[in-house]
Amino acid sequence: KCLDISTISMIDPTLFQFFIFFTLAFLLLFSAAACSMESGLSAKIQTVFEQDFASASNVKWTQKDDYYVASFKINENEIAAAYNGDGELLMVSRYINLSNVLLKVSMALEEKFAGYAIDEKVIELAKEQTSYLINVENAKRKMQIEVDTSGVFSIKSKTKKH
């Protein structure tokens, strides 16, 4: 049976106020708990992120060890930004096409990895300096290499093919 609005005046006002207060308090506590469980990050990190990337959309946060990673889009570009617990930006990365790496990097790749298939999808990393994570492979092995803007390489991972 539905509550007839005309019967509200017959409800004890103190009981009615208690019910409203209890309902609002429950909703407030539940929504605050849901927000903190969903994000798990401090207001400071959130504020710094919003200042750094005001036009970000589709933001999703994950926590990895002692840092927080925001994955998001800006102008259809997929970007990730890592922050420490104090809200300090540690690194930004995005996917780019191999044809968009610096010419010096491209030339160094062709020289150093002749005979390797080079993946067209590259991760550009921006920390103190910009570098690129690139996957290469030949008949014997697969490698992920990091190349800085001057063309200096370091091998991040190497696996043998069977």
How far is the CA of 131 from the CAs of 100, 152, 153, in angstroms? 13, 9, 10
Q: What is the pLDDT of residue 11?
A: 43
Q: How many CB atoms lie within 10 A of CB 49?
A: 21
Q: Is the pLDDT of residue 109 over 80?
A: yes
Distance (Å, rounded) from C-alpha 117 to C-alpha 10?
A: 81
Looking at the chain, how many residues does it have? 162
Q: What is the pLDDT of residue 33?
A: 36
Distance (Å, rounded) from C-alpha 139 to C-alpha 124?
A: 26
pTM exceeding 0.85 = no
Q: How many CB atoms lie within 10 A of CB 45?
A: 22
